[in-house]
Chain A
Amino acid sequence: MPMNAIDPRGVGSPLVKGARSLLSRYSWEIMLLIILALTNALNFSISPYYKWGKLLDATNLFLDKGFLAMSMTLVILTGYIDISVASTVALSSVVMAVSYNAGAGVPMPLAMVICLLTGAACGAFNGLILVKFSELAPMIVTLATQIVYRGIALIILEDKAAGKFPSWYPNLGWGYAGVFPVMMAAFFILFIVFAFLLHKTNYGRTVYAVGKNKLACRFSGINVDRIIFTNFTLNGLMAAVTALFLTSRMGSTRPNVANAYEMDVIAMVVLGGVSTAGGKGRMGGVLISIFIVGLLRYGLGLININTQVLMMVVGGLLVLAVAIPEMRFGSLIRTRKPTVPASVKA
């Protein structure tokens, strides 16, 4: 009862209080920034080739996955997961290359549109299955379509490479728009779009709501199915965006490109503070963790560390991300939560 309740937040000037609440609200992002700084320090100390001047170029090595991490964030926020994304990248890339090089050939811009449509269709198919058969586990469904999509890519191209793109096309992955790489510019534009979508719109609000309580959302008149379908379609579309940039950098494509991309992408999202149970996490955290995972890979790659070891490091980071909120010192990072008086609980 209010008469004997004590303000658990304690005393302090408004300024201190404000800073403290900001600190507790964004504790995860702050921790990620520290990890990012440490990653950078580590990279500088282990390799003489790791230099500030090269970092802009280096972003081209991992920002292709960054596109996917943003849409994957929406998928995971609703409590779903999509592990078919790497295959979607491969299939859209192969379809683009083949349609450009086929007999009469379609013009490159049209081939790129076809690429985007292919990716969106793959995602839409995932979404459709999951909405129509809601009892199926997203992990299993997208595991199946992962095999199917890459299988289709293999049937179309067999185990060959397709390339011979127009001369301007490599600029997408290698070129600069002013001082920034084209890919980076595109990434940040899309980041603003996604961050706005998630944090400032009705759509974003309902994405969180669905992740928290699907049943209550349905009874509240929210079109849950449409949100899930849209998220998966967006995810497929972003896989195609990844394919555009990746193919541009490689100059040609094969059915086995982007192998195991889903691992890095999911690692980026989860390390970014997005709960796999749904309903929790922010785009900003994902942005920082894209750079952590990417720069870590780049730095370790410079000193020729084996891919397997790289994967282990990423795996370790992932375990850390999942474990940290459970650990005791989590309460040191966060300021203490106000205790709810027992008398007002149900």
Chain B
Amino acid sequence: MIKAGAHMGELLLELTGVTKTFPGVRALDDVRFTLKTGEVHALMGENGAGKSTFIKIITGVHKPDAGEMKIDGRTVRFNEPREAADAGIAAIYQHVTCYPDLSVTENIFVGHEIIDPRTKKLNWKRMRELSGQYLTQLGADVDPKAIMGTLSVARQQIVEIAKALSINARIIIMDEPTAALTRRESEELYRITLQLRDEGKGIIFISHRFEDMYRVAGRVTVLRDSRYIGTWNVDEISQDKLIYSMVGRELTQLYPSKRNGIGKEVFRCEGLSKTGYFADVGFSVNEGEIVALSGLVGAGRSEVCQAICGYWPFNAGRLYYQGKPVRPRSPREAVALGIGYLPEDRQKQGLILDWSILRNITLSTLKQHSRAGVPLPVKERETAHRLSNLLNVKRSSLQDLVSSLSGGNQQKVIVAKLLAGQLKFMMLDEPTKGVDVGAKHAIYEIMRDLTAQGIGILMVSSEMPEALGMSDRIIVMREGRVARVFDAVGATQEEILRASMTARTEVIA
């Protein structure tokens, strides 16, 4: 399957027959992988496919049970992460692992500080110079003296990359680096990644976003169920084929097609404003309709949803639910009306992780499942069983802890919790964030099912293909205001991007 790629280089890293077993689970089974100098090699696969374990073997966190790893043709065996770092391997993670209270320079040089040979003291001056040098080399405007915690996630990642340069890393692993970045920041990261590639580094790029892969990678390797599936040149494989190889079954279409008409208005807001967050936001959602709320991270989309569901108070504006003016003062009142909100951070805002699936599902509807304040287990199990079957939550039993589920299945549990109530309007805040492509498809199917039942959906989405593929209309927010509204049919990614990024024109009230 491997064909000569456009980016020919010397073989830098080679793994063959890598196998790793944890008690009860085979995490990697005969996996192979190659990386050349001056190459970006994407590693893709569903959550749980074995990508993380594979990376941990390269970085020396885990030792493989079998298999061989060669750098520059020489066999290496790491006993600890330190040895991998010494061999020129660095990893940058989605959730940056830094010391937030230390300066940029200190973060870059932690673990390999420069010591003045005469005085035996730390040579801060030199370290600051070098830090500045690395950061300039990356084209990043970051002050070496700044405190790490005050920087944005994107900047922190750049510092981590500078750290990789400081140890002369030749193999740089980026683990879902764009997951927490805005569009503009992602662009910056692409630029840096390509620059590093052109300097001859080998880069392993892990991402769930196809766009990342198409933008930076030359080759892509897919893992599925702990096994090696194949390696292709990016420009020679279609997205459908790639999805098929990751999921192992044909997803005829990532975005299932619409199968219902649009009914009367279910929700409308007018002139919604909250000082410092958003101003004069107005839109409506009809029964059976999906409206996407698009825009850059920080444009105020989540805040609007949270204000509508009563979590935040707002200064001005009117809400109408099924034509009647409403003003929920808490998510509880919103749910009682029929307005539900699926928060963006499912682990912090949506779930009680070490509770069972069953208890999470009935959490917000205890009243329905009880008599005189005492829960009725039979009724609870009935609902949980029905909804987790409906949404196809993978489980061995309803008593499984939610923390043991994959991201996509956790998301399904939260959706199930929302469905346990009688909702007519649902706000889904980044419903597919961080879930793999199979689970994404499942969530889209669920959304279609919901609209077929006449539920109106407002979907906050940062992924433009998702907004285009799923919604009927797209509302683009920019700096707290509605910038433009598109009909999904006929709209293009470029138009949406332009609307969400046009230069600052107004100041938020």
Residues of A within 8 A of B (CB): 1, 4-8, 200-203, 205-206, 209, 212-213, 215-223, 339-346
A-B contact pairs, 10 of them (CB 8 A): A1-B25, A213-B352, A216-B348, A216-B363, A219-B311, A219-B341, A221-B331, A339-B23, A342-B22, A343-B225
Flag if B375 contacts A202 (CB, 8 Å): yes
Residues of A within 8 Å of B434, CB to CB, are 346
Cβ of B308 < 8 Å from any Cβ of A? no
Of residues 344 through 369 on chain B, the ones whose CB sits less than 8 Å from some CB of chain A are 348-355, 359, 363-364, 366-367
Alpha-carbon distance between A221 and B343 when the two chains are bound, in angstroms: 12
Alpha-carbon distance between A342 and B373 when the two chains are bound, in angstroms: 39
Alpha-carbon distance between A222 and B421 when the two chains are bound, in angstroms: 13
Known contacts A212-B354, A218-B330; A341 and B22 CB within 8 A of each other: yes
Flag if A346 contacts B410 (CB, 8 Å): yes
Flag if A341 contacts B350 (CB, 8 Å): no
Interface centre among B53, B374, B407 (most CB of A within 10 A): B374
CB distance from B425 to the nearest CB of A (A): 14
Known contacts A343-B27, A343-B226, A346-B406; A202 and B374 CB within 8 A of each other: yes
Residues of B within 8 Å of A1, CB to CB, are 25, 48, 225-226
Residues of B within 8 Å of A206, CB to CB, are 366
Residues of B within 8 Å of A339, CB to CB, are 22-24
Cβ of B480 < 8 Å from any Cβ of A? no
Cβ of B50 < 8 Å from any Cβ of A? yes
Alpha-carbon distance between A3 and B338 when the two chains are bound, in angstroms: 42
Cβ of B26 < 8 Å from any Cβ of A? yes
CB distance from B423 to the nearest CB of A (A): 11
Residues of B within 8 Å of A212, CB to CB, are 352-355
Cβ of B478 < 8 Å from any Cβ of A? no
CB distance from A96 to the nearest CB of B (A): 31
Which residue on A lies nearest to B410, using beta carbons? A346
Residues of A within 8 Å of B403, CB to CB, are 340
Flag if A346 contacts B330 (CB, 8 Å): no
Which residue on B lies nearest to A4, using beta carbons? B26
| Interface residues as binary, B308-339 with A (CB distance below 8 Å gives 1, 0 otherwise) | 01010000000000000000001111111000
Cβ of B405 < 8 Å from any Cβ of A? yes
Alpha-carbon distance between A164 and B509 when the two chains are bound, in angstroms: 67
Residues of A within 8 Å of B311, CB to CB, are 218-219
Residues of A within 8 Å of B410, CB to CB, are 346
CB distance from B93 to the nearest CB of A (A): 14
Flag if B367 contacts A216 (CB, 8 Å): no
Residues of A within 8 Å of B359, CB to CB, are 205
Besides A216-B349, A221-B330, 8 other A-B contacts (C-beta < 8 A)? A1-B48, A4-B25, A5-B25, A221-B421, A342-B25, A342-B48, A344-B406, A346-B434
Cβ of B163 < 8 Å from any Cβ of A? no
Alpha-carbon distance between A310 and B434 when the two chains are bound, in angstroms: 54
Flag if A345 contacts B406 (CB, 8 Å): yes
Cβ of B417 < 8 Å from any Cβ of A? yes
Flag if B331 contacts A205 (CB, 8 Å): no
Alpha-carbon distance between A212 and B26 when the two chains are bound, in angstroms: 32
Alpha-carbon distance between A220 and B418 when the two chains are bound, in angstroms: 8
Which of B47, B355, B363 is within 8 Å of A222, CB to CB? B363
Known contacts A205-B375, A342-B53; A221 and B25 CB within 8 A of each other: no
Flag if B24 contacts A5 (CB, 8 Å): yes
Alpha-carbon distance between A5 and B353 when the two chains are bound, in angstroms: 22
Alpha-carbon distance between A100 and B333 when the two chains are bound, in angstroms: 45
Alpha-carbon distance between A223 and B225 when the two chains are bound, in angstroms: 42
Which of B53, B351, B375 is within 8 Å of A216, CB to CB? B351
Known contacts A4-B25, A339-B23; A202 and B350 CB within 8 A of each other: no
Flag if B336 contacts A221 (CB, 8 Å): yes
Flag if A213 contacts B348 (CB, 8 Å): yes
Known contacts A202-B375, A216-B349, A219-B349; A344 and B404 CB within 8 A of each other: yes
Residues of B within 8 Å of A201, CB to CB, are 373-375
Flag if B334 contacts A221 (CB, 8 Å): yes
Cβ of B152 < 8 Å from any Cβ of A? no
| Interface residues as binary, B402-417 with A (CB distance below 8 Å gives 1, 0 otherwise) | 0111110010000001
Cβ of B370 < 8 Å from any Cβ of A? yes
Residues of B within 8 Å of A205, CB to CB, are 359, 366, 375
Alpha-carbon distance between A339 and B27 when the two chains are bound, in angstroms: 14
Which residue on A lies nearest to B405, using beta carbons? A344
CB distance from B436 to the nearest CB of A (A): 10
CB distance from B482 to the nearest CB of A (A): 24
Alpha-carbon distance between A223 and B331 when the two chains are bound, in angstroms: 9
Residues of A within 8 Å of B331, CB to CB, are 218-221
Residues of B within 8 Å of A215, CB to CB, are 348-349
Residues of A within 8 Å of B26, CB to CB, are 4
Residues of A within 8 Å of B363, CB to CB, are 209, 216-217, 220, 222
Ranked 3 nearest A-B pairs via Cβ: A221-B335, A221-B332, A220-B364
Residues of A within 8 Å of B350, CB to CB, are 216, 219
CB distance from A82 to the nearest CB of B (A): 24
Residues of B within 8 Å of A220, CB to CB, are 331, 335, 363-364, 417
Residues of A within 8 Å of B22, CB to CB, are 339, 341-342
Alpha-carbon distance between A286 and B98 when the two chains are bound, in angstroms: 41
Which of A6, A223, A346 is within 8 Å of B332, CB to CB? A223
Residues of A within 8 Å of B24, CB to CB, are 5-8, 339, 341
Flag if A203 contacts B373 (CB, 8 Å): yes
Residues of A within 8 Å of B364, CB to CB, are 220-222
Residues of A within 8 Å of B330, CB to CB, are 218, 221, 223
Interface centre among B24, B311, B373, B434 (most CB of A within 10 A): B24
Flag if A343 contacts B348 (CB, 8 Å): no
CB distance from B62 to the nearest CB of A (A): 10
Alpha-carbon distance between A237 and B38 when the two chains are bound, in angstroms: 72
CB distance from A262 to the nearest CB of B (A): 29
CB distance from A245 to the nearest CB of B (A): 28
CB distance from B76 to the nearest CB of A (A): 24
Alpha-carbon distance between A8 and B23 when the two chains are bound, in angstroms: 8
CB distance from A300 to the nearest CB of B (A): 38
Alpha-carbon distance between A4 and B333 when the two chains are bound, in angstroms: 46
CB distance from A6 to the nearest CB of B (A): 4
Residues of A within 8 Å of B50, CB to CB, are 343
Flag if B336 contacts A345 (CB, 8 Å): no
Alpha-carbon distance between A344 and B370 when the two chains are bound, in angstroms: 32
CB distance from A288 to the nearest CB of B (A): 24
Residues of B within 8 Å of A346, CB to CB, are 47-48, 405-407, 410, 434
Residues of B within 8 Å of A209, CB to CB, are 352, 355, 363
Residues of A within 8 Å of B309, CB to CB, are 219
Alpha-carbon distance between A136 and B194 when the two chains are bound, in angstroms: 48
CB distance from B55 to the nearest CB of A (A): 13
CB distance from B57 to the nearest CB of A (A): 13
Known contacts A219-B341, A220-B417, A221-B331; A200 and B374 CB within 8 A of each other: yes
Flag if B366 contacts A345 (CB, 8 Å): no
Of residues 13 through 72 on chain B, the ones whose CB sits less than 8 Å from some CB of chain A are 22-27, 47-48, 50, 53
CB distance from A74 to the nearest CB of B (A): 15
Interface centre among A212, A216, A345 (most CB of B within 10 A): A216
Which residue on B lies nearest to A280, using beta carbons? B354
Alpha-carbon distance between A7 and B396 when the two chains are bound, in angstroms: 12
Residues of B within 8 Å of A341, CB to CB, are 22, 24-25
CB distance from B387 to the nearest CB of A (A): 15
Residues of A within 8 Å of B394, CB to CB, are 344
Residues of B within 8 Å of A218, CB to CB, are 311, 330-331
